[in-house]
């Protein structure tokens, strides 16, 4: 059994550390998880007037989410919260009312920043949103990652072995979390 995980990256920056982290996590993902990064940079700004006529890009995101058994959010912290592009993606796929593509999907959050608190405040804000969206979100381990020079190898891997092991543990816990929730849905 494979569980498809939609990976949502909260930065559009070309050299984004979070995008690099998402790519490194994809390589470390344990066997039952298959990571697919979803596109959010071409979504329209959310406008409730469009609820009855959502754009192809929004429909694409919602389809990708509906085909996934879990969601991994990899996000920077902007001004002590989540970036607007991420909130825009969340809002777009949450509507029309009653047709949210997020509902019930098990989730996990992680983020890397140059600041010492490693996106902790952004992730706390994100957890608040995910609770409202009815997404069971992995509580531990919390993954507040600080970027320093040499964090990634030139090949895009995690340079430090103990950090790599910690990330692997996180992914294993997430795999159990997704499996637990997917099995619950299957046995309903
Ligand atoms: C930041 N940055 C930042 N860092 C942090 O730890 N806490 C914060 O509140 C903020 N706020 C913030 C706002 C804005 C508008 C920008 C552009 C940046 C710095 C941030 O961690 C850094 O730019 C990361 O490199 C962003 O992540 P990506 O794009 O590398 O994935």
What's the pLDDT tens digit per position in 43-97? 999 999 999 999 999 999 999 999 999 999 999 999 999 999 999 999 999 999 9
Question: Is the CB of residue 123 below 6 angstroms from any atom belonging to ligand 1?
Answer: no
Query: At 187, is the pLDDT very low, low, confident or very high (cuts 50, 70, 90)?
Result: low
Question: Is the CB of residue 113 below 6 angstroms from any atom belonging to ligand 1?
Answer: yes
Please tell me the residue having the least CA distance from ligand 1 atom 26.
Answer: 76
Q: Which whole number is the average pLDDT over 10-34?
A: 97
- Tell me how far the alpha carbon of residue 77 lies from the centroid of ligand 1, in angstroms: 5
Please report the pLDDT score of residue 1 as a whole number.
87
- Are residues 74 and 7 in contact, defined by beta-carbon separation less than 8 angstroms? yes
Query: At 182, is the pLDDT very low, low, confident or very high (cuts 50, 70, 90)?
Result: confident
Query: Best of 13, 24, 74, 77 to mutate for ligand 1, by most ligand atoms within 8 A of CB?
Result: 77
- Tell me how far the alpha carbon of residue 184 lies from the centroid of ligand 1, in angstroms: 37
Please report the pLDDT score of residue 185 as a whole number.
73
Nearest to 151 by CA among 118, 129, 121: 118
Stated pTM of the model: 0.97
Cα angle 126-57-124, degrees, rounded to a multiple of 5: 5
- How does the average pLDDT of the chain come out, rounded? 97
Q: Which whole number is the average pLDDT over 127-151?
A: 98
Q: Which of 188 and 135 is assigned the larger pLDDT?
A: 135
CATH of 3-186, one of 3.30.470.20, 3.40.50.1100, 3.40.50.360, 2.40.40.20: 3.40.50.360
Q: Where are the beta strands (DSSP E) in the chain?
A: 3-9, 33-37, 70-74, 107-113, 144-146
């Amino acid at each position: 059994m494979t569980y498809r995980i939609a990976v949502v990256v909260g930065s559009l920056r070309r050299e984004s550390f979070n995008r690099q982290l998402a790519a490194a996590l994809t390589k470390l993902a344990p066997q039952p998880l298959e990571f697919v990064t979803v596109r959010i940079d071409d979504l329209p700004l959310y406008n409730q007037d469009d609820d009855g006529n959502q754009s192809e890009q929004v429909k694409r995101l919602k389809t990708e989410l509906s085909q996934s058994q879990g969601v991994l959010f990899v996000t920077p912290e902007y001004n002590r919260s989540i970036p607007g592009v991420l909130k825009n993606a969340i809002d777009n796929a949450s509507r029309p009312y009653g047709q949210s593509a997020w509902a019930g999907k098990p989730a996990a959050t992680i983020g890397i920043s140059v600041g010492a608190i490693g996106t902790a405040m952004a992730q706390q804000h994100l957890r608040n949103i995910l609770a409202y969206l009815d997404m069971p979100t992995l509580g531990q381990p919390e993954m507040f990652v600080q970027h320093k020079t040499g964090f990634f190898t030139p090949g895009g891997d995690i340079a430090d072995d103990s950090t790599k092991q910690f990330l692997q543990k996180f992914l294993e816990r997430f795999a159990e979390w997704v499996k637990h929730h997917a099995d619950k849905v299957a046995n309903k």
